[in-house]
Amino acid sequence: MTTIEGLPGTVGRDLHPMQQAWLDRDVAQCGYCQPGQIMAAVALVGKVRREGRSITEADLDGIRNICRCGTYTRIREAITQGERHM
Ligand code: FES
C-alpha cells in the first residue's frame, strides 16, 4: 500500500507530479482532505491509463472525496495538470 508520504518514492523524485500540481495550483485550504484527494487523483489517473485513455470531465465528476473548504475547482485543475506530468 502506498501512502501520501510514500508517493514521491513511486517516481523517484522529491514530489510526485500530482503533489507538484497541487502546489502549483495552490489547492489546499485547511488541508484536512488533501492527502485523500491526491491519492484519489493518482488512482484515477492509473485507472484511466489502464483503460488506454485520459481523464474526462465525467471522471472528475465521479470523484466522491468531500472537501469542506470547497476547493473542487482547483482540485480539478490540479488533476488535469498532474495527469499531464505523470
Ligand atoms: S481543504 Fe479543507 S477540507 Fe479540503
How far does CA 73 lie from the centroid of its chain?
12
Candidates 66, 78, 10; CA nearest to 38 is 78
Give domain status of residue 78, yes or no: yes
Domain count of the fold of the chain: 1
- Per-residue pLDDT of the chain (86 residues), as tens digits, is 899 999 999 999 999 999 999 999 999 999 999 999 999 999 999 999 999 999 999 999 999 999 999 999 999 999 999 999 99
Is any ligand 1 atom within 6 A of the Cβ of residue 78? no
62 domain-assigned: yes
Range of the domain at 50: 29-85
pTM: 0.95
In a domain, 17, yes or no: no
Q: Is the CB of 72 under 6 A from ligand 1?
A: no
27 lines ligand 1 (CB under 6 A): no
- Considering the domain boundaries, does residue 18 fall inside one? no
Cα 86 to Cα 75: distance, rounded to the nearest angstrom: 16
CA-wise closest residue to 69 among 39, 40, 36, 34: 34
CB 66 near ligand 1, within 6 Å: no
